[in-house]
A and B are shown apart, each in its own frame.
Chain A
Amino acid sequence: MDGLLVAHGLNISFEIVVLALVSLGLAITLGLLGVLNLAHGEFVMIGAFSAFFVQSQGWPYLAAFPVAILACGAIGWPVEKFLIRPLYARPFDAILATWGLSLLLREMVEFFFGRGFNSVAQPIKGTVNILGADYPAFQIVVMLAAIALIATIVFWFLRSVTGRRIQAMVDNPDLAKAVGIPVDALARNTFVAGLCLAGISGVLLAPIVAVHPSMGIDYVLKSFFVLVVGGLGHILGLVIGSGVIGGAEATVSAIIDRTSGYSFVLILSLLFLWRRPNGLVAR
């Protein structure tokens, strides 16, 4: 019985960590740049396809990370320049434009890889026994990698010169420009970094889920809900938001059924959007 509790605990933790991981990139583009990137999920998808591509070439799994970063960077760069930059001041239009982008990316991946499901083999096979619960070893690695990644990004953001420059730019772009911070380049790099993080999360998830061109839709909404519930102001928001969304869905699914679990997450997010749009951890 203990093993069962541990197993459920691990499942919920994994769910929460994955939510946080997938939301990290969106937290950067939305939280720092104010761009609600509806194509966020498509960059997760591109990351997953990078893993598939790498494996089909017979390269090692780890090679998927640079490939995903290259792919997301190569797409993100022109996207920022031609699509996002003119729209920083028009958040509404940015939603529409990135929605168009998501359509475009989906169709383009279909063009290259077809519409079917693809499979990425798990680089680490088998299960490990944790306190009486058998748990997939690779999912433990994903969890640890995700936590390390989030911690690194947060630490870097708080401590590095670039991190502080980004903060300055977010607080007051004009002033930042006036003191010589190259705001345009910085915003571009931040945006592209957010996309690359989405790609990295795609690489990490690819061996666990079905890899197909429409998979991105699953992620963008949940990520957005996480940020709505958690709040955009603080890294803590990301963690708490993931905890609330992941925890609520798991709990309600367990008590009633999965359809109710999903409806509950929708309703909870709607309530937050409505009554508390700044989330639990306000800026």
Chain B
Amino acid sequence: MNTQLKRREVLAGMAGGAALLSSPAVLRAAGNEAIKMGTFFSLTGPASLFGPTQTACTALAVDQINAMGGILGKQVEIVAGDGGLSPAEAAQAAIRMTLQDKVDFIVGSHNSAVRQSIIAAIKGRVPYVYTPLYEGGECAPNTYVTADTPQQQVKPALNALNEMYGTQKVYLIGNDYVWPQKLNERAKEYIAAFGGEIVGEEYAPLGPGNKFDDAVTRIRAAAPDLVFISLVGGDNVNFNRSFAGFGLDSSIRRLSVLLEELTLFGIGAENSDGLFSSMSYFTAVESPENDAFKSQYAAKFGADGPPLSMLGADAYSGTHCAAALLNAAGSNDASAVMSASNGLSYTTATGTAVMTNRHVNKDIYLAECNGVAFDIVKSFKGVAHGETCSV
């Protein structure tokens, strides 16, 4: 009946509320065994085109951390999970990771449904760092978000475009789910703040591949100065191709909030005039940190390595953040990490970021597409995240 007993034991760890948060998963103080880092990257599923760069960037970050003495004096070892699974399966993998593989912390980049299932599964037992841009509002215990928040992505970019080009009239188009809806809510606030006007808003269903000729025709009729795009994946590609195909690219500017190198490659060089992107990472960012990041990445993976992009760089920065958190806290104990997190500063792929309220104030860049590459138009230093999680 050994298994039965074991299950009870495990249960004690699972069921727990705050009182149990600290007990079973606390780092075993002594010994030279490695510290284990669980990862959830999109190895399969629709987002799997980002999986290889996420894995590679994280491997680079781990190399760097280990070279600098590891975390709490121990070498870091990766336990890889698949963030492309269905939420239920991802939750199972997370439970297995925390209870059987006994990982000491988790870094993940995947959609929000999977994030919430992982949070529900690990119940705050180990620190969990979430890295890709998202809709905001995640304040679960022992969860740390290094992602770009709506405020960071939307506010400076809209204001800057307004200043530079006088973009007053804005048309909103996005997919029909939570992330675009939340972003557009924020966008409306900021646009109202500088006295701009929303001249149209539409959503396309998530899932079926949409065509956007009719949307482009409506946009032409609405004659905005700027189209604010929160479409994802193939829809983002299709929309921008239609937009340029109809010749609107010469007169109307576009701002996309999920546009990195891989998606831009699908949009194509001849369709990217007047297209902007606002995120915390572009390969084109000029900073000593990014130069070092890119050269070390190239040195480790060579020319044939997975192409660098924002989702990879986020995972890289998130891994460094996790290391900094644990080192600052002196353990992976939830309350220690929570209190260490506030005001923590750590190195990202492009510079330095500061964590407050378990979110990150960081540098944001507005980039303009130049063929299938980005030119940084403006850098915003230490942009506030605008989230209000307690610490």
Contact = CB atoms under 8 A, between A and B. Distances in A.
Direct chain A–B contact by Cβ atoms under 8 Å: yes
Interface of A: 4, 7-8, 11-12, 14-15, 114-122, 125-127, 134-136, 138-139, 208-212, 214-215, 217-218, 221, 250, 253-254, 257-259, 262-263
A259 B176 contact: yes
A48 B151 CA distance: 38
B49 A116 contact: yes
Given A11-B217, A15-B213, A214-B46, A119 B268 contact: yes
A107 B309 CA distance: 23
A123 B16 CA distance: 63
Contacts of B245: 122, 127, 136, 138-139, 208
Contacts of B208: 218, 221, 262
B32 to A, nearest CB: 39
Main secondary structure of the interface of B (DSSP, over half): helix
A4 B223 CA distance: 12
Nearest to A261: B205
Given A15-B213, A117-B262, A134 B267 contact: no
A114 B245 CA distance: 26
Contacts of B202: 257-258
17 contacts: A15-B213, A117-B233, A117-B262, A117-B265, A119-B237, A120-B268, A121-B268, A127-B246, A134-B220, A139-B245, A208-B241, A209-B211, A215-B234, A221-B208, A253-B214, A258-B203, A258-B205
A102 B46 CA distance: 16
A259 B205 contact: yes
Contacts of A116: 49, 262, 265-266
Contacts of A257: 176, 202-203
Contacts of A139: 213, 245
Contact of A208 (B220, B221, B242, B270): B242
B213 A118 contact: no
Contacts of A263: 205
Interface residues of B, number: 37
B18 interface: no
A117 B214 contact: no
A122 B270 contact: yes
Interface string B202-226: 1111001111011101001100000
A14 B203 contact: no
B12 interface: no
B237 A210 contact: yes
B269 interface: yes
A125 B270 contact: yes
A119 B269 CA distance: 8
A87 B93 CA distance: 40
A134 B265 contact: no
B213 A14 contact: yes
A-B pairs, 5 with minimum CB distance: A117-B266, A119-B268, A218-B209, A210-B237, A136-B245
